[in-house]
Amino acid sequence: MTETTLPEAQAGAVLDIDLGAIADNWRALRARHATGAVAGVVKANAYGLGAEKVVPALYRAGCRHFFTALLDEALAIRDLIPDAMLAVLNGLFPGTEAAYVARDIVPVLGSLAEIDAWAAIASTCGRRLPGIVHLDTGMARLGLSDAELAVLAADQTRLRALDLRFVMSHLVAAEEADNPLNETQRRRFALACGSLPPAPRSLANSSGIFLGAGWGSELARPGAALYGINPTPGRPNPMRPVVRLRARVLAVRDVAVGETVGYGATWHATRPSRIATAAVGYADGWHRSQSNRGTALFDGRPLPLVGRVSMDLATFNASDHPALCPGDWLDLIGPGRTPDDVAAAAGTNGYEVLTSLGRRFQRIYRCA
Ligand SMILES: *Cc1c(COP(=O)(O)O)cnc(C)c1O
Over 50: is that where the pLDDT of 2 sits? Answer: no
Give this prediction's pTM. Answer: 0.95
295: β partners? 304
Q: What is the mean pLDDT of residues 39-45?
A: 98
Mutate to test the pocket of ligand 1, among 29, 88, 89, 106 (most ligand atoms within 8 A of CB): 89
88 close to ligand 1 (CB < 6 Angstrom): no
48 close to ligand 1 (CB < 6 Angstrom): no
Mutate to test the pocket of ligand 1, among 25, 26, 41 (most ligand atoms within 8 A of CB): 41
Q: Summarize pLDDT for 12-24 with one digit per residue, the tens.
A: 999 999 999 999 9
Q: Summarize pLDDT for 281-296 with one digit per residue, the tens.
A: 999 999 999 999 999 9
Q: Summarize pLDDT for 46-75 with one digit per residue, the tens.
A: 999 999 999 999 999 999 999 999 999 999
Question: Of 128-142, 212-226, 260-274, 298-312, which range is least confident?
Answer: 212-226
Ligand 1 center to 74 CA (angstroms): 16
Over 80: is that where the pLDDT of 368 sits? Answer: no
Mutate to test the pocket of ligand 1, among 70, 221, 237, 351 (most ligand atoms within 8 A of CB): 221
Q: Summarize pLDDT for 148-184 with one digit per residue, the tens.
A: 999 999 998 889 999 999 999 999 999 999 999 999 9
Ligand 1 center to 205 CA (angstroms): 5
Over 60: is that where the pLDDT of 4 sits? Answer: no
CA nearest to 167, candidates 189, 145, 188, 186: 189
222 close to ligand 1 (CB < 6 Angstrom): yes
Q: Summarize pLDDT for 115-148 with one digit per residue, the tens.
A: 999 999 999 999 999 999 999 999 999 999 999 9
Ligand 1 center to 153 CA (angstroms): 26
65 close to ligand 1 (CB < 6 Angstrom): no
pLDDT at 8: 76
Give the chain's mean pLDDT.
95
Over 90: is that where the pLDDT of 1 sits? Answer: no
